[in-house]
Amino acid sequence: MNQAINKDAVISNQYVHQLDRDYVFHSWSVQGTLNPLVIAGGNGCTLFDYDGKQYLDFSSQLVNTNIGHQHPKVVAAIQKQAGELATIAPATANLARGEAAKRIIARAPANFSKVFFTNAGADANENAMRMARLYTGRSKILSAYRSYHGNTGAAIVATGDFRRLPNEYAQGHVHFFNPYLYRSEFCAASEAEECERALAHLRRIIECEGPHTIAALLMETVPGTAGILVPPAGYLPGVRALCDEFGIVLILDEVMAGFGRCGSWFAFEQFGVVPDLITFAKGVNSGYVPAGGVIISNPIAAYFNDRYFPGGLTYSGHPLAMAAIVATLDAMDEEQLVENASAIGSELLGPGLKVLAEKYAIVGDVRGLGLFWALELVADASSRKPLPADKMGQIKSALIQHGLLPFVVDNRIHVVPPCIVTADEVKQALAILDQVLGQISL
């Protein structure tokens, strides 16, 4: 028999932790080994628990709280919308939905005019792939091995990392190696060589798979979970040229890299390319209410003017999520948060991380842009052997104990604070990283 609900329970770290362990099933986890951190609330770049312990959030959770925690303008917009109309079907015309789409299009390239709203990034990628297949009449999707595109049917198979392996049920997916000079698949010795050889490799994949069978090439502009792999100069223009040559739709996944994260509204702006479809989520409203979508270029949007689009979601363009998008984008404009991300990243965070790399041999590589950075940690600098999981676990625990909430993936620390982060907060985070890395390096 289920336990009775205790309405008089004293809310504490212990109570919330036990509640979670008794009833919550977690993603990407072995359930019996979990020991989740308890969070009671937050403000700006800071989170705190029920005992008052504070954490400087340099994970942005799952790299989504670009506007920080509990931004008052966004919270107020959600509250106002809830008082007016909490939900409505997607087939209706709704003010919040229209205003959100208008603001997104205002930041997109000139040849984009429509937005299809989804609930998150995974179903944004699902629907972008669907659009490309319908538009081209082709079936295959190319995507990179070092990538993450979501945990739904086709999105997880488009994903390149290990999580796709127990989930490979969708068909028509082919993978290729994207550039990663530090661990080059192409025996490259420079960024220029890595770019040239990665593009030659991609051309051969296209030729061998049959260009006439390939609907789309789906890739993260800057692969995030895979390691914040900033593409070398010329790579993305080269990908764009291959797509143009073979009539392939280019889908750029900006779910993590977009809306200020890289120091520009969209990451692709910094690489001189324009895709055919843009997927987004996360930073568009910092995840205050789940939302994502596909920004559709004019030729593809026009294709569906007299053709049925076989896709939709009950909560597409949900009013609360749309109100959060409007408030988030307006606040980011008013507070110049994209400019802040660019300046803090280039003038303070990036240089500070590079100092740590020079100081500690354990730091094999530093890479990033804007507020999107990674420290790759190694057990041996010459062999570049990744730092083992137990050591990474020690580092993560030590950072949390010192009040810094990190985003740790494999042998990397992803340093990804909200776009509102201040110079003082970056200095505080760098000092904690310095202290912890120093202890591990001894």
Q: Are 371 and 419 in contact (CB under 8 A)?
A: yes
Specify the DSSP element, H or E, that contains 175: strand 173-176
How does residue 1 score in pLDDT terms, banded at 50, 70 and 90? very low
Instruction: State how many domains the chain has.
Output: 2
- 268-289 pLDDT, tens digit each: 999 999 999 999 999 999 999 9
What is the model's pLDDT at position 4?
66
For residue 8, what pLDDT is reported? 72
Say whether both 286 and 203 belong to one domain. yes
Which of 315, 334, 353 delimits the end of a domain? Answer: 334
Say if residue 76 is in the same domain as residue 60: no
For range 424-429, the mean pLDDT:
98
Evaluate whether residue 125 is within a structural domain.
Answer: yes
pLDDT band at 2 (very low <50, low <70, confident <90, very high): low
The β-bridge relationship of strands 372-380 and 385-386 is antiparallel
Q: Kindly state whether residue 7 falls inside one of the protein's structural domains.
A: no
Both 283 and 350 in one domain: the answer is: no
Residue 77, amino acid: A
d(CA 442, CA 439): 6
Is 1 a domain residue?
no
Q: Quick one: 254 and 271 in the same domain?
A: yes
The string of pLDDT tens digits covering residues 172-228 is 999 999 999 999 999 999 999 999 999 999 999 999 999 999 999 999 999 999 999
In this structure, are 168 and 45 located in the same domain? no
The answer to the question of residue 238 being in a domain is yes
Q: Same domain, yes or no, for 117 and 239?
A: yes
What SS3 state is found at 402? coil
The model's pTM is 0.96
Task: Provide the residue range defining the domain that includes 368.
Answer: 13-70+336-441
422 and 293 in one domain?
Answer: no
Long-range contacts of 155-164 (CB under 8 A, 24+ apart): 155/122, 155/123, 155/125, 155/126, 155/129, 156/122, 158/125, 158/129, 158/218, 160/226, 161/225, 161/226, 163/28
CATH of the domain at 258: 3.40.640.10
Strands 249-253, 214-220: pairing is parallel
Long-range own/partner contacts, residues 30-36 (CB < 8 A, 24 or more apart): none
Which pLDDT does position 441 carry in this prediction?
A: 67
Asked if residue 423 has pLDDT above 90, the reply is: yes
* High-pLDDT (> 70) share of the chain, %: 98
Each residue of 361-383: pLDDT tens digit?
A: 999 999 999 999 999 999 999 99
151/269 Cα distance (integer angstroms) = 27
Q: Supply 407's token pair.
A: 């985003």
